[in-house]
Amino acid sequence: MRTKMNIRKAGKNDQENIVRLVKNGLKEFGFTYSPQTSEADLKNIDREYFQNDGVFLIMVNDRKELIATGALKKIDDRTYKIRKMYVANTHRKKGYGKEILTNLLQIAESKGAERVVLETSKSMVAAKNLYKKFGFTESAEQPASPRCDITMVKKIDQIKTKDHKF
């Protein structure tokens, strides 16, 4: 039987667990947690996301364990960026990343986004495949994150997540 999951906005008490999940996810792919660059946003999630017309979602199970994260950051009036998409390795291939991504895209659409961008790495094959299933395509834009080597883009007219068939 599948455990009940709850997606909610991250709060101040979630920061330690979020950092742990991100560190573990990065380590799996040979990356180092970088609080001065790529993970600087985790020092103050409220300021970086919520006060900037964005959102930081977490998924927890019925035991209140953090299972997945995903964030949406406003870049400009037309563009939002997906950040911090992580699923705990013991909970992958269960559709949790898809649930977080669906929520983020629906929020972007409700905020009037015309496009959504994200950055990833070639080594994160499953993540890249998930984004492609949602209609993201690789872009020539250079990633801002030092560890990413791919930028992917999805235009708002493609965001209609209810039309996805998985």
Convert the pLDDT of each residue in 115-151 to its tens digit.
999 999 998 989 999 999 999 999 998 888 888 899 9
Quick one: pLDDT band at residue 75, thresholds 50, 70, 90?
A: very high
Q: What is the CATH number of the domain that holds 23?
A: 3.40.630.30
Convert the pLDDT of each residue in 79-97 to its tens digit.
999 999 999 998 988 999 9
Domain holding 148, by residue range, is 5-163
Global pTM value: 0.90
pLDDT of 158 over the 60 cut = no
Please compute, for residue 154, the number of CA atoms within 13 A of its CA located in the half-sphere on the CB side: 28
- Quote the number of domains for the chain: 1
Question: Average pLDDT over the chain, rounded to whole?
Answer: 89
Helix or strand holding residue 58 (H, E)? strand 55-61
Q: What are φ and ψ of residue 21, in 5° steps? A: -65, -45
Among 164, 40, 59, CA closest to 102: 164
Please give the Cα distance from 63 to 151 (Å, whole number): 35
Please give the Cα distance from 6 to 3 (Å, whole number): 10
pLDDT number for residue 117:
96
Convert the pLDDT of each residue in 20-57 to its tens digit.
999 999 999 889 898 888 899 999 999 999 999 999 99
pLDDT number for residue 143:
86
